[in-house]
Structure 1
Amino acid sequence: MEGQQEQKPDASARRRTRSKNRTTRSDPVNKPSPVRKQRRKTPKTTPNDKTAQLSTRLKRKNSTAKRQTPPKRKKGVREKEDDKKDNKDISQRAPNYPQPWGSSQKYVGAHLSIQGGIWKAVLEAKRIGARAFGLFLRSQRSWSCKPLDKEGAEKFQRACQEYGFESHFILPHSPYLMNLGSPKSDVFLKSRVMLVEELVRCQQLGLTMYNIHPGSCVGGISVTECVKRIADGINYAHSEVPGITVVLENMSCQGSTIGGRFEELRDIIGHVTDKSRIGVCLDTCHAFAAGHNLAEKYGLKHMLDDFSRIVGLDYLKAVHLNDSKGEVGCRLDRHENIGRGHIGLEGFRQIMNEPRFDGIPMILETPYSPDYEDYSEEIDLLYSLCADRGRMGRNL
């Protein structure tokens, strides 16, 4: 109608219009749907196809491994290079002064490490000027061990032949776990098996002697019974492995160990069937700790006279050279460097001039000292005490 004002829609109508517009903009029906990626349809695989896929993955994996692995050397090249290096090291590090023993009939050496290969002990013995040496043939911390490496055994024998070390001047030592006198059946049986394994190793290395600590009754059985068990273990090992002499080491009378008294060594030998394959190694520290005063002028003579009367000098196969931290009769197995313990230089002067020690291995087992780079200085010191050597000893 003319003259009338145009009516405006009320508020509720405006809200309905806005709501309708919003619904139209956001309506999913009207909104274009996004383009979705089509999933590839994997064809059905047959067993032959799966085998081919697996083969492809393995080839890919192997090719990656080959890229990561350096090319292999020809068999034997590395070993030959190691041998040349070892020989070169010996020639470069060998002492320039004359051999320290002169005309002495004493065969002094040391207990040496086999780290890096058992033949390394031979090379080290040559380098330090030793005429004899000792070594372990296996780890000291485990009853079980890997078989002796055949190639390592051959290198050991070649080195001994090349540098003039005869088998009767090499004295391997038993692991400290071994206890042939144990009253516990499991420990006794494991010790017996270990002794057999060790004698087999000696055979493989071309050695003829093997040194053991006799054992301990650990307070569980009598000394007499313990002695018989030790002999039984040796007899069993002898029956299993021919040709190797078991060498009993005298002990310090510490605790319930057997062998500190010569009578105990005699009794063990008495129960061993094959007496041609049993012997004794005299440890100077152990003897001193057990009551033989080697520091006195006639102490060594008295000890060897007792040994000859009770055991017999024919059974003396080797000597372990150690000074003693403890006093005479202390019963403590505490080794000290030569001349720095209670036996002293004069005691070792008697030892190095004792003719009953001629022609047998004399092995140092002294502890590490920052004053000594290696055993060569103690070897030279001992030879300097020989009357037929004519050289002054080193200052301590």
Structure 2
Amino acid sequence: MDGEGGRGAAAQKPKKSLPASNKVKRRTRKDENPASDDSPKSEPSKKRITSKIETAKSKGSDDKKQKSKKKETTNKTQTQNTDTSTDVKPETDAFRNQTSERKTRVRKKPNNDNPKRVEKEVEVSEMVTKHLHRSLSSHKYVGAHVSIQGGLWKAVVEAKRIGARAFGLFLRSQRTWNSKPLEEEAAEKFRSTCDELGFEPRYILPHSPYLMNLGSPKPDVFQKSRAMLVEELNRCQKLGLTLYNIHPGSHIGEMPVGKCLELIADGINYAHSQVSGVTVVLENMSCQGSTVGGRFEELRGIIDHVEDKSRIGVCLDTCHAFAAGHNLSEKTGLQRMLDEFSEIVGLSYLKAVHLNDSKGGVGCRLDRHENIGRGHIGLEGFRKVMNEPRFNEIPMILETPASSHFEDYSDEIDLLYSLCE
């Protein structure tokens, strides 16, 4: 993933114009500040994004206003009540990438702090109700990476509000080695809210902090990363979760790739020996810099060295795959990629999908997420993704940036379900 917990935000560059066939009708947001607690709610008609692929022309002064507002808001970052000290410089390209974009949006309004009867208090729009109904026949569990601001259980409420059938989240601050212990009361709130709002553990995909690098040739970083993985799997166990997504790691140019893959597997084996019941899910990467996991052979290399094959899996990120050279915008691109994955890794290891368009072109090796239909994969590429039966019954998680084109994740979820045939 490219991703948040609150996910950090810095100013984003203006988006380049794409072919008309990839554009989605532009929306005007009532409140450009995603962190505002008192932003007015949009009417259902204004929150509906058309399922048709429309051609949009530039809007001159309206675009300038939107860009001006975006500059004022995208520099704001979310904060968490955790220790922010770090004594080891982050090594992975993933950490550096996240300083340039926010990948998770903050809920519009604070939720009631009482988790009891929370289902009755979740406001769901007419659009969300419709796409939830449509999703039932699709066998696709689409959701988004949601903020844990205010407590882990509030992420569940936010997932419900946006009409998600699955969701991702950080279990703690993603930018620090240290964090507060997970209290049993907080864990119980999370579990009970998941039960009440109907989210099963198999459709919840926690994400590792960006500091983690199990492939580091530096002993202190490797030890910290391994300890972090154990701590995170313990959190999953307390929360009743069964999946945990990680970026494999980086050799930082100081170790052969093969040795790096073995080191990553060693870290996973150790964590497995300390914590039971949680599957570690390896995310494919974009082949950027010294990161590993961009090639399916590298993912297979890690899996080969993992002792408990029943507790290892893979999450396919569409942006990362596209950047690594799999042309998902082509008619047969997805089919070819999945056939290759099946041959090299094995479909039995496919546990989840990260849904992201790509700012960079095919094979660019850049980890730059874009909103669905606004990047180089395009809507037709995601139409194939949404109608691919091999993606049935697994979590499909959006990690796209905040944008003036979509008011919140519910718009993109609705758009994706509209592509189902």
Q: TM-score, normalised by structure 1?
A: 0.76
Residue 218 of structure 1: aligned partner:
252
Residue 285 of structure 1: aligned partner:
319
Residue 251 of structure 1: aligned partner:
285
Alignment of 1:129-278 (within 5 A): 129-278=163-312
Structure 2: distance between partners of 1:81 and 1:143: 28
Larger helix percent: 1
Deviation at 1:101, TM superposition (A): 1.0
Identity of aligned residues (%): 74
Q: Does 1:313 align with 2:347?
A: yes
1:23-76 CA-partner distances (Å, limit 9, x unpaired): xxxxxxxxxxxxxxxxxxxxxxxxxxxxxxxxxxxxxxxxxxxxxxxxxxxxxx
Task: Give ranges in structure 1 of 5+ residues lacking alignment.
Answer: 1-78, 388-396
Q: Specify the SS of the correspondent of 1:288.
A: helix
Structure 2: distance between partners of 1:187 and 1:336: 31
Aligned residues of 2:124 and 2:162 also touching (Cα < 8 A): no
Q: Does 1:111 align with 2:145?
A: yes
Deviates more, 1:87-96 or 1:264-273: 87-96
Task: Between the two structures, name the one with larger relative contact order (CA 8 Å, sep ≥ 6).
Answer: 2
Deviation at 1:294, TM superposition (A): 0.2
Aligned residues of 2:248 and 2:264 also touching (Cα < 8 A): yes
Deviation at 1:80, TM superposition (A): 9.0
Q: TM-score, normalised by structure 2?
A: 0.71
Structure 1: distance between partners of 2:303 and 2:216: 18
Alignment of 1:6-45 (within 5 A): none
1:86-144 CA-partner distances (Å, limit 9, x unpaired): 55541466745462414100100000000001001110111111100000001012101
Residue 336 of structure 2: aligned partner:
302
Structure 2: distance between partners of 1:91 and 1:341: 31
Structure 1: distance between partners of 2:393 and 2:404: 31
Q: Aligned pair count?
A: 309
Aligned residues of 2:250 and 2:291 also touching (Cα < 8 A): yes
Structure 1: distance between partners of 2:220 and 2:379: 44
Q: Does 1:127 align with 2:161?
A: yes
- Matched residue type, 1:227: L
Residue 326 of structure 1: aligned partner:
360
Residue 83 of structure 1: aligned partner:
115
Q: Specify the SS of the correspondent of 2:211.
A: coil
Q: Specify the SS of the correspondent of 2:114.
A: helix
Structure 2: distance between partners of 1:383 and 1:164: 19
Deviation at 1:164, TM superposition (A): 1.0
Task: Give the number of the structure whose alpha-carbon radius of gyration is greater.
Answer: 1
Q: Specify the SS of the correspondent of 1:124.
A: helix
RMSD (CA atoms) = 1.6
Aligned residues of 2:141 and 2:394 also touching (Cα < 8 A): yes
Q: Does 1:353 align with 2:382?
A: no
Q: Specify the SS of the correspondent of 2:115.
A: helix
Residue 385 of structure 1: aligned partner:
419
1:278-304 CA-partner distances (Å, limit 9, x unpaired): 000000000000000000000000000
- Matched residue type, 2:378: G
Structure 1: distance between partners of 2:148 and 2:164: 16
